[in-house]
Amino acid sequence: MLTPHPGDRPAREVLGHGEAPGKVILLGEHSVVYGHPAIAAALSRGVRVSIESNDEGPTFRAPRWGVATVLADAPDVAPLGVALERVRRAVAPGLTRVAAVAEDRLPLGAGLGSSAALTVATARAFAAAAGTTLTAERLTQVCHLAEQVFHGNPSGVDQATVVHGGILRFQRPPGGTPDLRALKPPQPMTLVVALMRPHVGTKEAVEGLRARRERHKRTFEALLHELGALAQDGVALLEQADWAGLGERMDLAHGLLHALGVSSDDLDQLVRLGRNHGALGAKLTGAGIGGAVVMLTDGDLDHTRRLVLALRAHGAQAFSTEVV
């Protein structure tokens, strides 16, 4: 417990902590919504949440995101407050005079799984504060309650990756149970992530693609099928640490995503810049229409550093990351 200075508000006791990583989709975003496989990887950057005592009732604060809200499942409460209230009620309904405080190393709205990371970290923090533990299955269920608020009908790939970590092959048949397979390359994988602006929103991007698919069903079905096929190809390439082959599939996937209408001028520019500065493959990751690009490197520290500096010189937020 912190010792208050005279005149300060009462010190807030920290009751528990929880952490969760961000994620990128290496292959298969959007097509995963239609039952095709995807490959996703958890990042070494993520979100940490602390549960503190708070006489004002359940609230949430994320100073670096500039966000503060009450926790309540009510029409006049921000979606973030509704989502995290669902987490609190599911995990620790008896903890009512508390504040959840997030420390983040992930940008919002970048396609890096910030909402899933936040909800999983919050669930883990509430469980720690309540003196309980959550199985991976229960944690996934709780996260899904919150992700429904953010994304409507999420595929589940974000929460699965954030809960389990590492690299996953994920596939959910329409109306079926997700099939998860952990992938373990024989060599470490080094990625670079870059972004220029937030994306328009996962729900909006998914619904826009769905509308275009209805207008051009034959063409879009073929494009989505090919995205899934590239992800399936990527499984063997990743398990062999064939980074050149995996990077080539990432390049092809970006072209297909562009054809589906979910890329943007700034994403295309970042992809070209990354390839011109030594990335083995580069593509948008997540919902698209803004957001982030993920780039695969050869793992050489100097090559990776020069790639990051080139992206920053272009005005992008960029960082290298390991898979965790």
Same domain, residue pair 171 and 40: yes
98-104 vs 59-62, strand pairing mode: parallel
Is 92 within the bounds of a domain?
yes
Contact assessment for residue 98 and residue 15, using Cβ atoms and an 8 Å cutoff:
yes
Backbone angles phi, psi at 183, to 5 degrees: -110, 135
Joined tokens for residue 234: 């990527």
Same domain, residue pair 46 and 190: no
Is 6 within the bounds of a domain?
no
Q: How far apart are CA 189 and CA 22, in angstroms?
A: 15
pLDDT of residue 10: 52
Residues, the chain: 324
Same domain, residue pair 139 and 204: no
Alpha-carbon dihedral sign for residues 233, 237, 238, 244: negative
CATH of the domain at 298: 3.30.70.890
pLDDT of residue 26: 98
- pLDDT by residue for the chain (324 residues), tens digit each? 333 333 444 557 889 999 999 999 999 999 999 999 999 999 999 999 999 999 888 999 998 888 899 999 998 999 999 999 999 999 999 999 999 999 988 887 788 999 899 999 999 999 999 999 999 999 999 988 888 888 776 778 999 999 999 999 999 988 788 999 999 999 999 999 999 887 777 778 888 999 999 999 999 999 999 999 999 999 999 999 999 999 999 999 999 999 999 999 999 999 999 999 999 999 999 888 888 999 999 999 999 999 999 999 999 999 999 887
C-alpha to C-alpha distances, 233 to 38, 151, 237, nearest whole angstrom: 10, 28, 7
Is 307 within the bounds of a domain?
yes
Same domain, residue pair 172 and 228: no
Q: Which of 161, 182, 203 is the last residue of a domain?
A: 182
Same domain, residue pair 78 and 200: no
Same domain, residue pair 59 and 134: yes
Same domain, residue pair 199 and 172: no
Is 306 within the bounds of a domain?
yes
Report yes or no on whether pTM surpasses 0.95: no
Same domain, residue pair 53 and 173: yes
Domains of the chain: total: 2
Is 5 within the bounds of a domain?
no
Angle at 248 between CA 247 and CA 253, to 5 degrees: 95
Same domain, residue pair 249 and 110: no
Q: How far apart are CA 191 and CA 169, in angstroms?
A: 18
Same domain, residue pair 140 and 194: no
Q: Which of 137, 167, 182 is the last residue of a domain?
A: 182
Radius of gyration of the CA atoms of the chain, in A: 20
CATH of the domain at 115: 3.30.230.10
Same domain, residue pair 110 and 217: no
Is 41 within the bounds of a domain?
yes
Q: Which of 126, 153, 182 is the last residue of a domain?
A: 182
Q: Which domain holds residue 275?
A: 186-322
Q: How far apart are CA 163 and CA 324, in angstroms?
A: 11
Is 9 within the bounds of a domain?
no
pLDDT of residue 177: 87
Place of tokens 């010189």: 313
Same domain, residue pair 74 and 197: no
pLDDT of residue 50: 96
Contact assessment for residue 160 and residue 147, using Cβ atoms and an 8 Å cutoff:
no
